């Protein structure tokens, strides 16, 4: 068996917080300084150095985690750990503050208001039925008998005067538009349960999100694409006042316009997980500034494959995309889906340049770009031209003239995609231009840069 692995946790507080080291014998309180403070926690190691945080720090560092295995029962349980339980507790505490922070004053008022309901519930409505009145009477008598001989006799009190009890019994029932019947939340399908959990998360974030860190695994689970996009917009809005971390496999939860929010995780050949390192001098604000808004409006799930691919081939347009994807299938024997390869059309030469900039932003290195040498249009004047550097690094191909000239195809916008597709269907291996060898080599290389 291996040894205990120490988990290092680093917290950064804006304001000092007192904490109690419950392992230390003197139980001394110490201020946690405003700068970064580091300590180690050793799981299942009673002899190791570690710290149990007090409630004050737990409340200041509130972390809400929603795992991929959605469990509606645990999320609807009114406990100190569930989001619903925390909100109900805040409601109750707020009610007490409304009554001058005097809980007894609140209970007295509630006792006065609830009295008719209590009398109704405790009514002995039938002599031959089990009633609450009979239960209460017999239960109290048994407690009295069982406490005979004890120093302190037991005298239970059964009441419904605890306002917090009502919040703890909260239940959620749902119905769909096509049915008038309400169902308990645990009786509906997984998709509906997921929607309820996410709705609780959104509600909690809107009300108390500024003091909470959220962690969500795969928010896209059970959601249609439209619902995924709506949830992503909601998360972005909530992130203005909360910190939200999520892991995803959906293109609908990434956006190149927020590239510095994205961290790509990979595994090396030893199975170790690591994140791709970003270029420190790039941010979403200074990368390809002049053209980024045009590209952002054209971003779609297909182009978002960049964030999930093992390798990416950037091309200018649809004719290039169908050409190289068909070459992979028909001639080069490259299964792009199995190998995790994305061929992304970028909407022109400026788009190719932009997407290379995005790769710098997110630290992605396994890309190759193809573009035409044809004269640059007047609107191609990016803040940073990545194309010369891409050629220098051997990560790009500039086609002399353009693709149509290289393949002897009609040089017009009409039927470009069809012409490229027909060419590749008819071509043989020896007729493929030697210029494409660098593309073939890139796609066939099993291990790319930045993964070991």
Give a three-class secondary structure readout of 83-128.
Answer: HHHHHHHHHHHHHHHHCCCCHHHHHHHHHHHHHHHHHHHCCCCCCC
**pLDDT at residue number 327:** 96
Among 115, 150, 168, residue at a domain's last position: 168
**Distance of alpha carbon 302 from alpha carbon 87, whole angstroms:** 39
Whether residue 138 is contained in a domain is answered as yes
Q: Pick the residue with more confidence: 393 or 154?
A: 393
**pLDDT at residue number 439:** 96
Q: Are residues 300 and 398 both part of a single domain?
A: yes
Q: Pick the residue with more confidence: 37 or 337?
A: 337
Q: Which of left, alpha, beta for 58 (phi over 0: left; psi -120 to 50: alpha)?
A: alpha
Q: pTM of this prediction?
A: 0.65
Q: Are residues 338 and 424 both part of a single domain?
A: yes
Whether residue 154 is contained in a domain is answered as yes
**Distance of alpha carbon 135 from alpha carbon 285, whole angstroms:** 70
Q: Are residues 162 and 188 both part of a single domain?
A: no
Whether residue 35 has pLDDT greater than 60: no
| Highest mean pLDDT of the ranges 36-50, 216-230, 297-311 | 216-230
Residue 334: pLDDT band by 50, 70, 90 thresholds?
Answer: very high
Over the chain, what is the mean pLDDT? 76
Rg (CA), the chain: 32
Q: How many domains does the chain have?
A: 4
Residue 48: pLDDT band by 50, 70, 90 thresholds?
Answer: very low
Whether residue 285 is contained in a domain is answered as no
**Distance of alpha carbon 264 from alpha carbon 308, whole angstroms:** 8
Poorest-pLDDT segment among 6-15, 332-341, 425-434: 6-15
Average pLDDT over residues 109-121: 85
pLDDT digits (tens, 9 = 90+) for 196-250: 888 878 888 777 766 677 888 898 888 888 888 888 888 888 888 888 889 898 8
Residue 312: pLDDT band by 50, 70, 90 thresholds?
Answer: very high
Q: Are residues 438 and 306 both part of a single domain?
A: yes
User: Which of 378, 374, 320 is CA-nearest to residue 346?
Assistant: 320
Q: Pick the residue with more confidence: 167 or 253?
A: 253
Where are any strands of DSSP class E within 308-350?
A: 311-315, 341-345
Q: Are residues 294 and 439 both part of a single domain?
A: yes
Whether residue 258 is contained in a domain is answered as no
Write down the residue that tokens 């994205």 correspond to. 262
Whether residue 16 has pLDDT greater than 60: no
Among 195, 230, 253, residue at a domain's last position: 253
User: Which of 376, 384, 379, 308 is CA-nearest to residue 341?
Assistant: 308
Angle at 225 between CA 222 and CA 227, to 5 degrees: 70
**pLDDT at residue number 268:** 76
Among 120, 149, 168, residue at a domain's last position: 168
Whether residue 318 is contained in a domain is answered as yes
**Distance of alpha carbon 377 from alpha carbon 283, whole angstroms:** 26
Whether residue 400 has pLDDT greater than 70: yes
- Residue 129, Cβ density class (10 Å: 0-12 exposed, 13-18 middle, ≥19 buried): exposed
Q: Are residues 294 and 382 both part of a single domain?
A: yes
Q: Are residues 422 and 434 both part of a single domain?
A: yes
Whether residue 89 is contained in a domain is answered as yes
Poorest-pLDDT segment among 5-14, 186-195, 376-385, 403-412: 5-14
Cβ-Cβ contacts under 8 Å for 253 (sequence gap 6 or more): 219, 220, 228, 232, 235, 246
Whether residue 144 has pLDDT greater than 90: no
Q: Where residue 193 sits, what CATH number does that domain have?
A: 3.40.50.300
Whether residue 277 is contained in a domain is answered as no
Q: Are residues 361 and 385 both part of a single domain?
A: yes
Q: Are residues 183 and 139 both part of a single domain?
A: no
Whether residue 67 is contained in a domain is answered as no
Residue 33: pLDDT band by 50, 70, 90 thresholds?
Answer: very low
- For 149, 330, 386, 395, the CA distances from 144, given in Å and listed in that order, are 10, 88, 86, 86
The token pair that represents 7 in the structure block: 């988990």
Q: Pick the residue with more confidence: 410 or 299?
A: 410
Q: Are residues 319 and 356 both part of a single domain?
A: yes
Q: Are residues 437 and 299 both part of a single domain?
A: yes
Residue 11: strand pairing partners: 37
Q: Are residues 208 and 98 both part of a single domain?
A: no
| Highest mean pLDDT of the ranges 163-177, 245-259, 275-289, 377-391 | 245-259
Cβ-Cβ contacts under 8 Å for 310 (sequence gap 6 or more): 339, 340, 341, 366, 448
State which residues form the domain around 423: 290-444
């Amino acid at each position: 068996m291996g040894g205990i692995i120490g988990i290092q946790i680093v917290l950064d507080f804006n304001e000092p917080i007192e904490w109690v080291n419950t392992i230390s014998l003197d139980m001394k309180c110490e201020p946690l300084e405003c700068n970064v403070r580091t300590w180690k926690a050793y799981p299942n190691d009673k002899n190791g150095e570690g710290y149990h945080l007090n409630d004050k720090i737990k409340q200041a560092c509130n972390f809400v985690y929603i795992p991929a295995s959605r469990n509606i029962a645990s999320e609807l349980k009114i406990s100190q750990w569930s989001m619903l339980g925390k909100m109900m507790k805040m409601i109750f505490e707020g009610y007490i503050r409304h009554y001058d922070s005097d809980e007894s004053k609140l209970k007295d008022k509630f006792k006065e208001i609830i009295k008719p309901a209590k009398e109704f519930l405790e009514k002995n409505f039938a002599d031959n039925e089990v009633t609450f009145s009979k239960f209460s009477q017999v239960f109290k008598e048994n407690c009295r008998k069982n406490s005979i001989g004890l120093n302190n006799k037991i005298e239970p009190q059964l009441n419904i005067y605890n306002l917090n009890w009502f919040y703890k019994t909260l239940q959620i029932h749902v119905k769909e538009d096509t049915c008038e019947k309400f169902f308990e939340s645990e009786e509906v399908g997984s998709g509906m349960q997921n929607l309820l959990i996410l709705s609780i998360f959104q509600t909690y974030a809107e009300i108390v999100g500024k003091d909470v860190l959220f962690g969500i695994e795969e928010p896209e689970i059970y959601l249609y694409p439209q619902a995924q996009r709506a949830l992503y917009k909601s998360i972005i809005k909530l992130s203005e006042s909360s910190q939200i971390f999520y892991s995803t496999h959906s293109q609908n939860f990434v956006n190149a316009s927020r590239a510095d929010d994205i961290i790509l995780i990979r595994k090396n050949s030893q199975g170790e997980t690591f994140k791709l390192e970003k270029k420190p001098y790039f941010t979403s604000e200074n990368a390809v500034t002049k053209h980024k808004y045009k590209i952002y409006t054209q971003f779609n799930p297909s182009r978002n494959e960049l964030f999930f691919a093992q390798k990416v081939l950037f091309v200018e347009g649809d004719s290039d995309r169908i050409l190289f994807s068909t070459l992979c299938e028909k001639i080069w024997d490259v299964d792009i889906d199995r190998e995790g390869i994305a061929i992304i059309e970028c909407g022109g030469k400026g788009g190719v340049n932009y997407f290379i900039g995005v790769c710098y932003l997110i630290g992605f290195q396994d890309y190759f770009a193809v573009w035409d040498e044809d004269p640059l249009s007047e609107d191609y004047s990016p803040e940073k031209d990545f194309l010369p550097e891409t050629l220098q690094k051997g990560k790009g191909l500039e086609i002399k003239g353009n693709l149509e000239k290289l393949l002897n195809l009609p040089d017009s916008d009409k039927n470009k995609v069809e012409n490229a597709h027909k060419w590749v269907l008819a071509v043989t291996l020896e007729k493929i231009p030697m210029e494409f060898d660098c593309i073939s080599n890139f796609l066939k290389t099993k291990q790319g840069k930045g993964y070991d």
